[in-house]
Amino acid sequence: MERPLTQHITFPPLGLRAYEAVGGYQSVRKVLKDLAPQEITTLVKESNMKGRGGAGFSTGMKWSFVPMNVSGPKYLVVNADEMEPGTFKDRWLLEGNPHQLIEGMIVAAYAIQATESFVFLRWAYKTAAVEIRKAIREAYDAGYLGKNIMGSDFSLEMHLHTGVGRYMCGEETALLNSLEGKRATPRSKPPFPQVSGLFGRPTIVNNVETLCYIPHIINNGAAWFQSLSRTNDGGTKIYGVSGRVKNPGAWELPMGITMRELIEEHAGGMQEGYRFRGVLPGGASTDFLVEEHLDIKMDFAGVAAAGSRLGTGTMVVLDDRTCPVGFVHNLEHFFAQESCGFCTPCREGLPWTEKLLLAIERGEGREEDLAILSSHTKMMGPGNTFCALAPGAMEPLQSALRYFRDDFEQHIREKRCPYHA
């Protein structure tokens, strides 16, 4: 009998004592004893740590925008509303090591002098919710949360907030509106959340993976973090691969690993009988890349130079037996459902796009539909909508029209989907 490529073993998450035994919460002790808040921000900035939520902005730079000489509360909010199709990296961290996130949150909150923090969690992550609640309770009992942490002057409260299932909450200002009990629509910027965020107070919103790196940067230094990378972007990255590969999953690897290494070595290559055609390199709202791009570095600059975005670093592979039209229609159906309806291009344009793609997939498309779809990718592009949801939705479509146009034309010419013959 042929052995499987990988044996998957599930381990329970680390409890407090087990986490402390491998160095957990040492960074909290270090910053409270030896570092001023500004020193932490400078250290994170020097590490060249870029946010792992998709935008790739310098984490330390983002923290530095928080005004320090103001009275009143400040907030730290974790964006754990992981709803990007094809993305599952944060779930891995939340379910496997929740104390690592809590430790990172404490350090980040101390750096910006926040007094209250929230984990905004996707509603469907039931296991993660159980583990986070347990870990928060353990951290309170051990004196890592609450009043005068470890005898210091610093106090921090922490709460778990479970969202109600809208993809829109992945946008940080819509998340803050939802957290305030309002409709999850994006806010106008400026002011930015760092100055006026939750309840109008200075607020930092960071991704789960971003904050999980913070304790290690504090313990080991900026130069160490940079040394883990193959590129100018510091550190490691949790990369994922899904689709018809032999070993789909997620791996922590050096920032800047090539796409070919990820797919062929870690994901085991394509399944028997399937050939690689393209990939969304950073989740559903990124542009397709194709075989000629397999040797690019999977960092923010490398993927951008190839015409896409690193995004969440979780790749969705398209094979030669999956219809690109149907693939993209499925994505646009999701984005059309998840539009908050706040601005006209997104509210009206995404459903129109989805209907045109469905007609083409069913063999009911017309030649002029391709021109309409192409115009939609421009009308809903960056700068024409209130937030990034619609521009993100246009990325897979515009690149599919570029790389797989023959498939669209064949659907229209033959009045059927050739993949469903």
In a domain, 43, yes or no: yes
Strand order in the sheet with 314-319: 249-254, 236-242, 314-319, 276-280
pLDDT of residue 56: 87
Pair (295, 355) in one structural domain: no
| Element containing residue 407 per DSSP (H, E) | helix 405-414
The radius of gyration of the chain's CA atoms, rounded to the nearest angstrom, is 22
pLDDT in tens, 213-249: 999 999 999 999 999 999 999 999 999 999 999 999 9
Bridge partners, residue 283, by sequence: 281
Pair (214, 246) in one structural domain: no
| Element containing residue 251 per DSSP (H, E) | strand 249-254
Q: What's the pLDDT band for 350 if we cut at 50, 70, 90?
A: very high
Cα-Cα-Cα-Cα dihedral of 391, 356, 277, 235, to 10°? 20
Which amino acid makes up residue 393?
A
Query: Where is pLDDT greater, at 164 or 143?
Result: 143
* pLDDT averaged over every residue in the chain: 94
Pair (79, 192) in one structural domain: yes
Domain boundary among 196, 227, 258: 227
pLDDT in tens, 166-205: 899 989 999 999 999 999 999 999 999 999 999 999 999 9
pLDDT of residue 10: 57
In a domain, 312, yes or no: yes
Give me 223's structure tokens: 């130069």
Rounded to two decimals, what is the model's pTM?
Answer: 0.93
Strand order in the sheet with 75-80: 157-162, 116-121, 75-80, 203-207
The number of folded domains in the chain is: 3
In a domain, 387, yes or no: yes
- Interval 24-42 mean pLDDT: 97
Pair (286, 371) in one structural domain: no
Distance CA 277, CA 346 (A): 29
pLDDT at residue 397 is higher than 80: yes
pLDDT of residue 4: 37
CA-angle at 360, arms to 355 and 361, nearest 5° = 95
Distance CA 403, CA 326 (A): 15
pLDDT at residue 287 is higher than 70: yes
Q: What's the pLDDT band for 9 if we cut at 50, 70, 90?
A: very low
CA 280 from chain centre, in angstroms, equals 14
Q: What is the CATH number of the domain that holds 415?
A: 1.20.1440.230
Give me 392's structure tokens: 């993100």
Structural domain containing residue 289: 236-319
